[in-house]
Amino acid sequence: MMRTRTDGHCVLGEPAHSVTSVIFGVDAIVDAAQASAAAWKTVLDPFLRTHAAVHETEFTPFDVRADYLRFLQGRPRLEGLRDLLAARDIVLSYDDLRGLAMSQEEFFLGEVRRHGLMPFASAIAVLRRLHRGGVRTAAVSVRPEGAEILRRAGVTDLFDVVMDGLDSPGTTLPEHPNAQLYLQAARRLGVSPGQAAVIETSAAGVAAAREAGVGAVVGVDPTGAITPLREHGASPVVTDLAELRFRSARAA
């Protein structure tokens, strides 16, 4: 999806860098973490309880905050699940991991379709300010449900370009955040990587954006645990996009 927009620029990042487009990770726009974590708990607690009973070990339920943040937020789904289970001395085959992950996705999408999702008010305010300045915007996710999340939150029309995991065949869009994700987004926006800024919530996304050579990378971590994002190259790092300070103006 692409709309024509008057060229503009904004100044973002530290040191300040002028860019003509801003690429948002979907998780910086829509508050999907709670629903995603709840879906993981729905799937994993019965599995963990059964595993504990069979192996005569103590059942430790999935923690929707600590386990989700440590293993699953902002990471490829199978990789995060594998590491979570390994921390509990549980090793599963790829097919079994995939089965759990697919069940989580079904529960998650079911909740989203029943109840919808809310966008972050501060993200909407930033997007509208960028649009008034003539700055193009994209939303990206490697998850196949990324575009649907935006649609259910009612924010699709705020973006010139939307990419998710369903775009993968034939487009070189990766299965997990890497430089190609942001390079492809910049290409669809019609700008060079250096003319784009990225706003991301995960360390993997921040590192991939830096590798892509974008002009600026802003990290967002509502938990306040900003160090990992800084260590991977985000500057600035904020807990809410309302804290973001930037200038926007028409290009000369």
Question: How high is the pLDDT of residue 223?
Answer: 75
Closest CA to 205 of 160, 146, 124, 130: 146
Measured on CA atoms in the order 11, 17, 18, 19, is the torsion positive or negative?
negative
Question: How high is the pLDDT of residue 228?
Answer: 83
What CATH number is given to the structural domain containing 67?
A: 1.10.150
Q: Are residues 140 and 169 in the same domain?
A: yes
Q: Are residues 230 and 167 in the same domain?
A: yes
Q: Whole-angstrom Cα distance, residue 41 to residue 8? A: 44
3 domain-assigned: no
Q: Are residues 14 and 122 in the same domain?
A: yes
Q: How many residues does the chain have?
A: 252
- Cβ contact 187:205 at 8 Å: no
Question: How high is the pLDDT of residue 80?
Answer: 92
The beta strand positions in the chain, using DSSP E, are 8-12, 17-19, 21-25, 136-140, 161-163, 196-200, 216-220, 237-238, 247-250
Domain stops at, among 88, 115, 142: 115
DSSP-assigned letter for residue 120? P
Question: How high is the pLDDT of residue 1?
Answer: 42
Question: How high is the pLDDT of residue 203?
Answer: 86
Q: Whole-angstrom Cα distance, residue 186 to residue 222? A: 26
Angle made by CA atoms 176, 142, 82, in degrees to the nearest 5: 45
Say how many domains are in the chain: 2
Range of the domain at 229: 8-31+118-250
Domain stops at, among 62, 90, 115: 115
Question: Helix, strand, or coil here: 105?
Answer: helix
Cα dihedral 161, 165, 167, 171, rounded to 10, equals 100
Q: Are residues 69 and 134 in the same domain?
A: no
Question: Helix, strand, or coil here: 24?
Answer: strand
Q: Which two tokens stand for residue 113?
A: 């379709």
1 domain-assigned: no
Instruction: Characterize 90-126 residue by residue with b for buried, 16 or more Cβ atoms within 10 angstroms of its Cβ, and e for exposed.
Output: bebeeeebeebbebbbebbbebbeeeebebbebbbeb
Q: Whole-angstrom Cα distance, residue 61 to residue 90? A: 14
Contacts of 167 (CB under 8 A, 6+ apart): 173
Q: Are residues 62 and 170 in the same domain?
A: no
Q: Which two tokens stand for residue 37?
A: 């974590």
Question: How high is the pLDDT of residue 130?
Answer: 93
Question: How high is the pLDDT of residue 176?
Answer: 64
Place of tokens 């649907």: 148
Q: pTM here? A: 0.84
Q: Whole-angstrom Cα distance, residue 239 to residue 168? A: 31
Q: Are residues 89 and 199 in the same domain?
A: no
Q: What is the mean pLDDT of each run of 10 residues along the chain (252 residues)?
A: 57 84 95 90 98 96 93 84 97 96 93 90 95 93 88 94 74 67 94 96 91 94 80 91 74 38
2 domain-assigned: no
